Amino acid sequence: MFPPTRIRSCLPVINPLFKQRLRPHRPFRQTSTLHQHQTKNATQIQKTKWMNLRAIITRWVPLGSVIYVGWCYIRASINYEVSKVEIRFYEMFPFRITSRIWGRLAACELPVSLRNLVYGTYVRMFNVNINEAAVPDLTYYKSLSAFFTRPLREGVRYISPAPCVSPCDGVVLNCGPADTDKIEQVKGVTYSLEEFLGENKWSKNKGTSYYDSLLTNKENILHQCIIYLAPGDYHRFHSPCDWTSTFRRHFSGKLLSVNPWMAKLIPGLFTVNERAVYIGEWRHGFFSMTAVGATNVGSIEIYSDPQLQTNTKGKRNRVDEVELGQVNLKKGELFGQFNMGSTIILLFEAPRDFKFEFAAGDRVLVGQALTAASKEQSR
């Protein structure tokens, strides 16, 4: 037993503990406004986080772009005609800035340990036939840009003996005679020939119309072939025939998507996008080959024209013209490359009976003959 004096000495310590334990529970009531101010400040910060200029550019614009492009895809599937207001709204998105950023990111060197993962994912997503590449080892390519512009191994593409062949791998959007100033980019959607090529400064022919001024033989007509290069395609393009390039015109326009379903929605798409037009002559007269830029195309490179600089800062509507002299190009010779998928457009003069071997929607490869008739004549 403890002595009474010892118990009495402990009571001052024990009693407060018992009182605190036996105190009835009371609900918590906020007596200070500090917590309320903190809550209000956090709410205001959260609101400004989503409503400032940086958030609009980095969050709302990409989100709106994805929603709008998806909506356009749905409308294209039901043959819906897009209004001019919607087209103007779509053109307002900063595709040039995002494409420039993408070009820089694609040029960054990747660690060797990540290359198989990154490039392998890309190969599976876009059905890339890596066995056709000159170097099938994925770790060989230092950057995405180097992988996009990979060369093919020798002999993997057969160059037909026909006078004119396909300049690239891709899907044909449209092909056939172009006998008016309005040319079909896809079925039912047209673009202006004069707006696409620009003022005729390379020819001395003065016809009654812009169309006639291009022809060297009035018995011939113009023919066109539009080939779309998907992200998984071989990104280099070649000379389609033996011809001489004398003039180059670079339009620094916009960088809208050139997907087949977008070409169905936007009339004159190829006349507003950035493009490098090369003009000259071939065996039948006028010949032009145009590389059209698109969203996420960091640059268009032409091997024989190192002065060409695409997707640069400055006014969108500026036009640069260069007299090239006499640049002789052989069929199948490397001409240039895209740093992402885009479009090649051939516009050339030929006899009226010039018939294409393939039709819109067909897939073509580099070196494939454009026409069966030309193939038979070359034998």
- Active-site residue, 192 included: no
- Active-site residue, 32 included: no
| CB-CB contact of 346 with 240 (8 Å) | yes
CA distance 103 to 107: 6
Given the residues 235, 238, 250, 284, the one annotated as active site: 238
Reduced DSSP (H G I as helix, E B as strand, rest coil) percent helix, strand, coil of the chain, to 5: 35, 25, 40
At 107 the three-state DSSP class reads coil
Given the residues 99, 160, 166, 169, the one annotated as active site: 169
At 172 the three-state DSSP class reads strand
| Token couple for 151 | 């060369």
Looking at residue 59, the DSSP 8-state letter turns out to be I
| CB-CB contact of 355 with 375 (8 Å) | no
| CB-CB contact of 274 with 338 (8 Å) | no
H/E element, 319:
strand 319-329
At position 365, the amino acid (one-letter code) is L
Given the residues 160, 245, 342, 374, the one annotated as active site: 342
- Active-site residue, 284 included: no
Question: What are the residue numbers of the active site?
Answer: 169, 238, 342
